Chains A and B, each alone.
Chain A
Amino acid sequence: MELLIKNGSVYDPSNGINGDKADISIKDGKIVDKVSSKATVIDAGGRLVMAGGVDAHSHIAGAKVNVGRIMRPEDTRSGIKPRTKLTRPTTGYTVPNVYAMGYRYAQMGYTTVFEAAQAIMKARHTHEELEEIPIIDKGALTLFGSNWPTMDFVREKNMDKLAAYISWGLLASRGFGVKVVNPGGGEMWGFGKNVTSLDDVVPNFDVTPREIIVSLMKANEMLGLPHSVHLHCNNLGKPGNYKTTLASMELADQVKASRDRQVLHVTHLLFNSMGGTNWGDFESKADEVANYLNNHDNVTGDMGQMIFGSATTMTADGPVQYANAKLMHAKWANGDVELEDASGVVPLYYIKQVSVYAIMWATGLELGLLTKDPYKMLLTTDHPNGGPFVNYSEVIALLMSNKKRQEEIKTVHEAVHSKTRLPGIERELDFSEIAIMTRAGTAKVLGLLDTKGHLGVGADADVSIYDIKPDQIDPSVEHAKIKSAFSSAAYTIKGGQVVVKDGQITATPMGRTYWVDARVPEQHTNEMMKDIVKKFKNYYSIQLANYMVQDAYLTHPKVVKAGAIPVEVR
């Protein structure tokens, strides 16, 4: 099967191609040098061509996503589309059903998406949903930050056991990377408390968030995992938390990267760039956070941009969700994952006229605009926490057009003028920078830049074509066209197959599920397993034998090998 995309205006920044007229040749699901004359030809006609979109942080599958669906039947009433001969029915806006996750991402030109948090014990549920999400490639980051074994091994300063535990945990959950959410906080929440600084001691474990973060970063690099530690900072959503965020970022200096990427990815920074001491004097500190990133090369972040309207906040940060629900008089669901984590789900409605929300909206955009290098600030909405992913086109238009921002600023609470710097920021991102924040950068941060996020020879043949001619449009003025084009791709090609044409689904192949097989010396695993067996015997309510996700749960696996020792074939 050969495909030739002709006359595209190609933006492939990691290969130094920025709007050049170029042809893209595809054979057997990969980008190749050239194809034969028998190749099917798609004439891009000068339109914008990019690699398929890659999302490094979105909540698309698993236990808390489903709790969101259960507690929000009213959300299910929107976005209803009956099945067609090709597609299954879709429902929902902030918490779409599984099919909608795949279709809607593909319709935006996205081909790879990572679920940002799965507890090992809930991983089977995550994979049951991933197996039903059509078209896109996907994977899930596994939670390690409040797990009892993690905290034990950190306290014992036994890095070999910690690395072995991560290796085993990734296998048990078929996970892709190490996610850390409010480290220590999940355990404290079991006692109705939370950690409030990097140096609070977690009771019964005698470890601090600082020790957990540093140890996990070290273990992550010992294992040479493709992705770095992916951190949801302590004190999320609290005024003044930017200090905790900066202090957490500084911890990356203690660890050396094992690969050409960051040591620490700090996620949905919008919720962690807050100044002030309470909601009354609350202000944006995005400039401080962006400034840190501008001066350091070992940390990356993503925006977590807020979208006005309905959102469903869901996180493994149980205590913050309880606080949210109380503050907003909102519906609240709480989850406890024994020995591993806590979680919470709260629906919110972000209103333009509420000062706090207006400031948060501006904070996200400040992060995107004040961070000079787009490789360090990925575009996300922390779906569906900041808002549903279907609004990425809105975020792109806002980043590309100061005119649009000024128009929006007129419609939001005036606090945006006194508490943020957004009104004075004139920077407008170009297509290359957008391609980095949504493709090359995300792939690089995930450690997948060999095959994802670019259009060089050897890359996966994931391509999106948008109905814009870059040389004939002024994104600053014609921002409505930018938004409309990025919301609905002219073509999405996944693994060399046209899956979307003119915004409509044309094929629904099953994507692959990425997970990382990271090896450690066998004796480390054996030592570590003695502790794990004891944990199961004494504390877990389920048997170890019922715990591991079996191969049957991944019908299209894509195993990425990593590990501290040379890998033998299994």
Chain B
Amino acid sequence: MQIVTIKPTKEIKISTEVENISPDKFAGKTEQEIKSLEAWIGNQKMTIGELFSVKVEGSAPAADTKIVMEGDFSRVKRIGEGMTAGLVIINGNVDMHLGAKMSGGKISVKGNVDSWAGREMKGGELIIEGNAGYYLGAGYRGESCGMRGGKITVMGNALDFVGEHMCGGEIIVNGNTGILPGLSNNGGKIVIGGNTSRPGSEMSKGTIIVNGTVDEMMPVFKLEGNEAVDGVTYKKYTGDVIVNGKGLLYIK
């Protein structure tokens, strides 16, 4: 087991990109080696050591590497990007693109995450105890496939466009979401505990389950009757009929 503890050494006010914070990048490295990894603050190239304190205990491959992040990371983007294994625990808030393109391992956040968390994620698990921003598990601009696999759980709320262009995997939001969850999705499953509006527009495949109320329904779904999912009875819709969609939309 390798445990790496990271804390900001000063308040980070400017947008910072550190995709090197990842079990894959830290595994087997010494404190000095980790500190010398690249980080970008604004348009300046710096190192992890110039922004964060780093403590390393043990040495192990990525699968047995745990990163513990203490403090405020609300301007730090791309944490855990592309990670394939290991564990990242963040005791604070983080900026955009958390766990983007990750294919394995687990990220657990105690605070809130900004937009694009789990974007184009292929596998692994993302647990967010606070709230999520826009485009949770979505595809970035122009991308036809967002989240493709893995699981995202949000204990709080999420903003608009949850799982846009999603092709696989599962997103669970216990609270409410903003408008258009599952926009243009082509697979995967989205479960919303609370309320939302206009779910499933342009969906061609996939499943969306809404347990709260739907403020506004797109007129592009066909009511198929009632159906029970895991012992709960929902109104079952299929659509989006405009794109000959085979998507399933369950609303309580």
The 4 closest A-B pairs by CB, nearest first: A74-B142, A73-B142, A73-B141, A74-B143
A77 and B140: CB pair below 8 A? yes
Residue numbers in B under 8 Å from A261 (CB-CB): none
A75 touching B243, Cβ below 8 Å: no
16 contacts between A and B (CB under 8 A): A71-B142, A72-B142, A73-B140, A73-B141, A73-B142, A74-B139, A74-B140, A74-B141, A74-B142, A74-B143, A74-B144, A75-B142, A77-B140, A329-B204, A329-B243, A331-B144
Q: Give bound CA distance, A72 to B140, whole Å.
A: 11
Closest chain B residue to A330 by CB distance?
B144
Count of chain A to chain B residue pairs whose CB atoms are closer than 8 Å in the complex: 16
- Residues of chain B within 8 A (CB-CB) of A329 are 204, 243
Interface string of A313-329 (1 = CB under 8 A from B): 00000000000000001
Instruction: Tell me the dominant secondary structure on chain B's binding face.
Output: loop
Which chain A residues (48-93) contact chain B, with CB distance < 8 Å? 71-75, 77
- CB contacts (< 8 Å) of A77 on chain B: these are 140
Known: A74-B141, A329-B204. 13 other contacts (CB 8 A): A72-B142, A73-B140, A73-B141, A73-B142, A74-B139, A74-B140, A74-B142, A74-B143, A74-B144, A75-B142, A77-B140, A329-B243, A331-B144
Interface size range of chain A in the complex = under 10
Expressed in whole angstroms, the Cα–Cα distance for A372 and B167 within the complex equals 46
B120's nearest neighbour on chain A, judged by CB, is A74
Shortest beta-carbon distance from B144 to chain A in Å:
8
Residue of A nearest to B141 (CB): A73
Contacts of B204 in A (CB 8 A): 329
Write the chain B residue with the least CB distance to A72. B142
Smallest distance from the beta carbon of B183 to chain A beta carbons, Å? 15
Looking at the assembled complex, report how far the CB atom of B228 sits from the nearest CB atom of chain A, in whole angstroms: 32
Q: How far is the CA of A446 from the CA of B210 in the complex (A)?
A: 62
In the complex, which residues of chain B have a beta carbon less than 8 angstroms from the beta carbon of A331? Answer: 144
In the bound complex, how far is the Cα of B204 from the Cα of A331, in angstroms? 15
- In the complex, chain B residues 189-220 whose Cβ is within 8 Å of any chain A Cβ: 204
- How many residues from B make CB contacts under 8 Å with A? 8
For residue B186, give the distance in angstroms from its CB to the closest CB of chain A. 9
Chain B residue contacts of A74, Cβ below 8 A: 139-144
CB distance from B19 to the nearest CB of A (A): 13
- Contact residues in A for B140 (Cβ distance below 8 Å): 73-74, 77
Q: Which residue of B lies closest to A70 (CB)?
A: B142
Q: Which partner residue on chain A sits nearest B243 by CB separation? A: A329
- On chain B, the residues within 8 Å of A75 by CB distance are 142
Which residues of chain A from 496 to 552 have a CB within 8 Å of any chain B CB? none
CB neighbors of A among B135-193 (8 A): 139-144
Q: Which residue of B lies closest to A349 (CB)?
A: B144
B177 to chain A, nearest CB (A): 24
Task: Please give the distance in Å from B99's CB to the nearest CB on chain A.
Answer: 17
Q: Report B44 CB to chain A, min CB distance, Å.
A: 14
- B145: nearest chain-A partner, CB-CB: A74
Produce 1/0 per residue, B113-133, CB < 8 A to A: 000000000000000000000
**Cα–Cα, bound, A379→B99 (Å):** 42
CA distance A71 to B141 in the complex (A): 9
Name the distance in Å between A35's Cβ and chain B's nearest Cβ: 45
Residues of A within 8 A of B243 (CB): 329
Contacts of B143 in A (CB 8 A): 74
A405 to chain B, nearest CB (A): 31
Q: How far is the CA of A75 from the CA of B139 in the complex (A)?
A: 13
Q: Closest A-chain residue to B139, C-beta based?
A: A74
Q: Which residues of A contact B142 (CB under 8 A)?
A: 71-75
Nearest CB on B from A286, distance (A) = 31
State A535–B169 Cα separation when bound (angstroms): 58
Smallest distance from the beta carbon of A345 to chain B beta carbons, Å? 13
A35, B54: Cα distance in complex, Å: 63
Which residues of A lie under 8 Å from residue B139 when comparing CB positions? 74
Complex CA distance for A526 and B81, rounded to whole angstroms: 65
A329 to B204, CA, bound (A): 10
List of B residues within 8 angstroms of A73 by Cβ: 140-142
**Residue on B with the closest CB to A74?**
B142
Give Cα A331–Cα B139 distance, bound, in whole angstroms. Answer: 15
Tell me the minimal C-beta distance from B5 to chain A in angstroms.
32
The chain B residue with its CB closest to the CB of A76 is: B142
Residue of A72, A74, A77, A331 most packed against chain B (CB within 10 A): A74
Cα–Cα, bound, A73→B144 (Å):
11
Query: Using a CB-CB cutoff of 8 Å, which residues 116-152 of chain A contact chain B?
Result: none
Residue of B139, B142, B144 with most chain A CB atoms under a 10 A cut-off: B142
Once bound together, how far apart are the Cα atoms of A136 and B243, in whole Å? 44
A71, closest chain B residue (CB): B142
Q: How far, in angstroms, from A226 to B139 measured CA to CA in the complex?
A: 48
A71–B143 Cα gap in the complex (Å)? 10
Assembly CA distance A89 to B140 (angstroms): 21
Chain A: minimal CB distance from B78 (Å)? 13
Question: A256–B142 Cα gap in the complex (Å)?
Answer: 49
In the complex, what distance in Å separates the CA atom of A415 from the CA atom of B141? Answer: 35
- Give Cα A329 to B243, complex, Å: 9
B-contact bits for A328-363, CB 8 A (1 contact / 0 none): 010100000000000000000000000000000000
Smallest distance from the beta carbon of B201 to chain A beta carbons, Å? 15
Within 8 A of A (CB), among B210-246: 243
Shortest C-beta distance, B207 to chain A (Å), equals: 19
Q: Give B17 Cβ to nearest chain A Cβ, in Å.
A: 14
Give the CA-CA distance A37 to B128 in the complex, in Å.
73
CA distance A72 to B142 in the complex (A): 6
Q: Looking at the assembled complex, report how far the CB atom of B232 sits from the nearest CB atom of chain A, in whole angstroms.
A: 32
In the assembled complex, the CB of A97 is this many whole angstroms from the nearest CB of chain B, namely 15
- How far is B139's CA from A73's CA once the two chains are assembled, in angstroms? 11
Min CB–CB distance B231 → chain A (angstroms): 35
Contact with A along B43-62 (1 / 0, CB 8 A): 00000000000000000000
**In the bound complex, how far is the Cα of B165 from the Cα of A150, in angstroms?**
45
Chain A residues whose CB sits within 8 angstroms of the CB of B144 once the complex forms:
74, 331
> Smallest CB–CB gap between A447 and chain B, Å?
39
With A and B bound together, what is the CA distance between A74 and B138 in angstroms?
Answer: 13
Q: How far is the CA of A484 from the CA of B111 in the complex (A)?
A: 49
Looking at the assembled complex, report how far the CB atom of A329 sits from the nearest CB atom of chain B, in whole angstroms: 7
Shortest beta-carbon distance from B147 to chain A in Å: 15
A75 to B142, CA, bound (A): 8
B164 to chain A, nearest CB (A): 13
Residues of B within 8 A of A71 (CB): 142
Residue of A nearest to B204 (CB): A329
Q: How far is the CA of A71 from the CA of B142 in the complex (A)?
A: 7
B186's closest neighbor in chain A, by CB? A329
Interface positions of B from 23 to 79, Cβ below 8 Å from A: none
Question: CA separation between A72 and B141, bound complex, in Å?
Answer: 8
* Max count, chain A CB within 10 A of own CB: residue among B139, B143, B243: B143
Q: How far is the CA of A331 from the CA of B165 in the complex (A)?
A: 13
In the bound complex, CA of A72 to CA of B144 (Å): 10
